[in-house]
Chain A
Amino acid sequence: MATSASPSTVRSRPVLQWRVVDIVVASVLGVAGGLVMTLWNLVYSPATAPLELALPGLQALLYAVWLFPAVLVGLVIRKPGAALYGELVAAAVSALLGGVWGWTALAWGIVQGLGAELVFAILLYRAWGLVPAILAGLGAGAGMALMDLTFYYAGSRPEFMAVYATSALISGAVIAGLGSWLLVRGLARTGALSRFAAGRELRPRAES
């Protein structure tokens, strides 16, 4: 990797302290994520029925809609705990709005959020590219598979569990991981992320 003398390219150590804007935007994104979850709660069953008919367990291919707040908030805020916080707020909002899972959504939120958070922590909160995003999505997907198979599909057959877990991981990587990464790029282009490092790396308009 070529080194440059220009001071602007020197990677400064990440500031890990949360600013007020980090907290508020993470909260608002969490709330928006909870709103999306609530809408998804209403349609997920018919939306995934064809997959389920094709191969039981395959419905989890779309379930990472419940996971994207973890990766998205992690990628935008870039602070320790952001992924967990985003997923937890989203889960709490979906419970407050009256989801099928009541407050047990919190338990799912914690485990799924931790799945993504662990990945960002292992990367020392320094890597925020496509690969870390996909890995974080995988982490969240693993958390979801663990919770769902332990509690909701405990009575299922092993082949169903294998299909379900694989689908959940793929879904986490693609929808929550790749999807959130694409979302952050799109959001950065709109200039909405100008107060965040995630938005400054991808300037909306070239400025001299």
Chain B
Amino acid sequence: MKRRAQWRCNEEWVTRQFFRRLLGVAVILSGMALVVGWRLVDLQIVQAAALAKRAERQQERMIPIEAERGAIYDRQGRVVAMSSELPSLFAVPSAIDHPAALGAELAAILERPRQELVRRLSADRPFVWLDRQVAPARAQAVLALGSEGIGVVVENRRFYPKRALMGHLIGFAGLDHQGLEGLELSYDHLLRGERGWLLVERDAAGRAVFPKSARSAQPAKGRDLRLTVDEVIQYSMEQALDAALRQTEAASAIAVMMEPRSGAILGMAVRPEFNPNQAAATSAERWRNRAITDLYEPGSTIKPLILAGALEDRKIRLDELIDCEQGSMLVANRRLRDHLPHGLLTPPQIIQVSSNVGAAKIGMQLGAPRLRHWLTEFGLDRPTGIDLKGEAGGLLRPVAQWSGRSLASHAIGQELAITPMQLVAAYAALANGGLLVTPHLVDAAVLPDGTRQAIERPAARRVISRRTADRLRDILVSVTAPEGTAPKAAIPGFRVAGKTGTAQKIDPETRRYDPREVISSFIGFVPAESPQFVLLVIIDGPQGAGWGGVVAAPVFRQIAEETLHYLGVMPQAPMVAQAAYVTPHDVRGTE
């Protein structure tokens, strides 16, 4: 009985113990479940948003897509600038076992010094470039070697397939595809386009698995540019300038050709040449587009503009006789001279023989304020507004700062400085009937779908009357006659209107005109009745006889003749036997 009661007591104790332990386990499990539950709530609700973003960051990859930079085409649709991708080769030196052997193999493929490649492959650096922007075939050959330590990335590069042709005009874009010079800079906002991006999931190896098309932005390709410049005309101009530089041993040369009615630039050549493909290896001095940045004294090419102003103000008549005082006149105690003595001349004759004394007297009849007014009317005191950055305005001092000699000096193109582009724009007004137009190089921007987008230009402004422009045109035609200063600019079968200029340069040391250093120029338009173009040729620092009629006029003729032929402009006057022109005895020194 006692044993039975003891057993029952033990059984109750065991049961109690069991339930007590069970309860303990249940409590622990419940506690753990509570912790897990709380963690679930924390992860799924409290931190859900932050963790989702973190997961996205780890699993997703944003791939930027560079926009393709727009191409540049010439007037006829020929490519002059375009971007293309090229492979660049790199190496991870720590992953390369035998740098010497691999270096020898690479040297044979890349045609680079073996020692240099071995040095790079042995470098104590995590990453080295082997060769950048190489030909695709070479990159394939390198990858075919099967070395794990060599890789390839694709880089975009801007190409200028015409090399130095139009180099100063087009300029260049940098490695980051930002325009740095020329049209590449001034139209960068249109050429650049907009960068896009693509969101992709990554697998364990980091490869892109699936593009989330709903979360992407396609890059917008930059717009193409259609220029007004023609490759053939530009080439003709550059060839002619090269030949002139060889012949005259001049320091530099410029030629600008423009349609007088529209302001469209057909060609703009600057020498020494500049190849935008090698911009990094070229000094900034060579990049400069001197046709719009450099100021020079225009010399006698200014005289027709002064005469136009005098005619507009009715200060002079074309049949009026002006005493040229046998080529010598005292102005503010200094003598103003012509190279050859002239007596009584009419204004057209003054332009034809380019008399300084006669031009100064026309300027005096006009008076200083009106003379300056007409120079500003022709736009010589401000940039022309051409679509290039860095254009200089003219240097035209206020009348209050003029000396006693300034009026006469301005009338013969001294004491003022202008850019070649300004002079071309001013002469275009004489050629087109009196309207000052804005020069431009880009005809239109072309959208990726082929739509042409015209570029707005300021409206042309009337400067002189059509009657005055017509009279000036006839006077300028006489300049290229055998009696004028530029018979070498004459083209058989065409009436050529133009004017010579020979400006002395100022010696920076003495600050006086250096008679040995001159800038020879000729500016004209042809055919005079319905001009197809205005062309300016400037030869800076020719050796020997540097007169514009001798140095620049033949270059003008060569370019103009080739361009007329290229444009299909037929001769209007009967052709005469094409004999070699002899330098007229009365040309020298009258400009």
**A, B bound:** no
